[in-house]
Chains A and B, each alone.
Chain A
Amino acid sequence: EDKVVQSPLSLVVHEGDTVTLNCSYEVTNFRSLLWYKQEKKAPTFLFMLTSSGIEKKSGRLSSILDKKELFSILNITATQTGDSAVYLCAVGQGAQKLVFGQGTRLTINP
């Protein structure tokens, strides 16, 4: 059975801390891995990773994929209260399907 597992499910840190969110997967016909941020309603796209070992970076966020060990991490440095959200990991399977993990709920306290 195809599955995407995120950990931790919930994380509470103080503003300024650095956090690492994990995503492991067992999916047939892997094509890509995507990270989304969901604050209230619509998830917004963060990164898409297709190659191992190549870090993608956007401001304080970065992500990397390990296709041998079947996982990805999302790092957020110098966290701010605006980073509080649910972070979703999804794996692109075949031509069209995306399989989502359960999400990690991140809370940043001032």
Chain B
Amino acid sequence: DGGITQSPKYLFRKEGQNVTLSCEQNLNHDAMYWYRQDPGQGLRLIYYSQIVNDFQKGDIAEGYSVSREKKESFPLTVTSAQKNPTAFYLCASRKREGHTGELFFGEGSRLTVL
């Protein structure tokens, strides 16, 4: 079945460590996104990519990095520079269109910093 796979689902990290969250899609979508969700808040955009080898910062990119070497994959690295990394991270994708359309989401990765 087509979809978006995020891993790991749960991750614990000590302060000062970098961690990488995986996002893979087999929907043949061009655009991919990373959002962060905190309790009681909506989704905030971290990074997005419209094509391979190109990506743009979202509203809260500080302390995060991404790469887009393949169309199917858009990993997110949470670096030690991110001051408050404990959150729920959602990856999404959509076909590249002139007008914004439906985003398809993965199941999310919950990161806890100890």
Q: Give A residues with C-beta under 8 Å from B.
A: 4, 6, 9, 31-32, 34, 41-45, 48, 50, 88, 90, 92-103
A41-B107, A42-B90, A42-B108 are known contacts. Are A100 and B99 too (CB-CB below 8 A)?
no
Asked if residues A48 and B101 are in contact (CB atoms below 8 Å), the reply is yes
Count A-B pairs with CB separation below 8 Å. Answer: 67
A48-B101, A102-B41 are known contacts. Are A96 and B107 too (CB-CB below 8 A)?
no
Not counting A43-B105, A94-B100, a sample of 15 additional A-B residue pairs whose C-beta atoms are within 8 angstroms of each other reads A9-B40, A32-B100, A41-B108, A42-B105, A48-B102, A92-B100, A93-B100, A96-B31, A96-B100, A97-B48, A97-B100, A98-B45, A100-B43, A100-B44, A102-B42
Asked if residues B42 and A4 are in contact (CB atoms below 8 Å), the reply is yes
Q: Give B residues with C-beta under 8 Å from A.
A: 31, 33, 35, 40-45, 48, 50, 58, 90, 96-108
* Chain A hits for B108, CB < 8 A: 41-42
* Chain A hits for B100, CB < 8 A: 31-32, 34, 92-98
* Chain A hits for B90, CB < 8 A: 42-43
